Structure formats: C-alpha cells, structure tokens
Amino acid sequence: MLQSRESLNVEETTLVNIQPVGRYGLTPIWEDGHKTGIYTYEKLRALCECDECRKSKR
C-alpha cells in the first residue's frame, strides 16, 4: 500500500495499466499493485493542457 512520505520509489510511480470505471472514469494501476483513486473523464479533461482541451475551456 502507498505510504505517506516525501518521496516515492520507482514501483509506486510506474503506471502498468488503466482500468475503466463504469462509463465515467479511469483507475490507474501502478507497478507496486496499488490502484487507489478514480479519475473521472470530467476531471481528466479539466487537467488536460492539450490544444483541443484548452480551446474547449474558453
């Protein structure tokens, strides 16, 4: 399980898979096995900085 500390090791920061959650989001799977968190498509779109997403935020 991911521990609270200032730095993370490589296994905790290496993405190995992404699983869909229903029709509304994604859960990342990390190399160390943790998969905490659901990232909604709405939230991911809000965080995205690509040209298409930036245009839609205006």
Written as one string, the DSSP assignment of 28-45 is: EEETTS-----EEHHHHH
pLDDT at 19: 97
* Separation CA 13–CA 30 (nearest Å): 7
Whether residue 24 is contained in a domain is answered as: yes
**pLDDT at 2 (0 to 100):** 55
Q: How many separate domains does the chain show? A: 1
Q: Give the C-alpha separation, 47 to 58, whole Å.
A: 14
pTM for this prediction: 0.68
CATH number, residue 25: 3.30.2020.30
Tell me if 42 is assigned to some domain.
Answer: yes
Q: Would you write out the chain's pLDDT as a tens digit for each of its 58 residues? A: 555 777 878 878 899 999 999 999 999 999 988 888 999 999 999 999 999 988 887 7
User: Contact, 6 vs 19, CB < 8 A?
Assistant: no
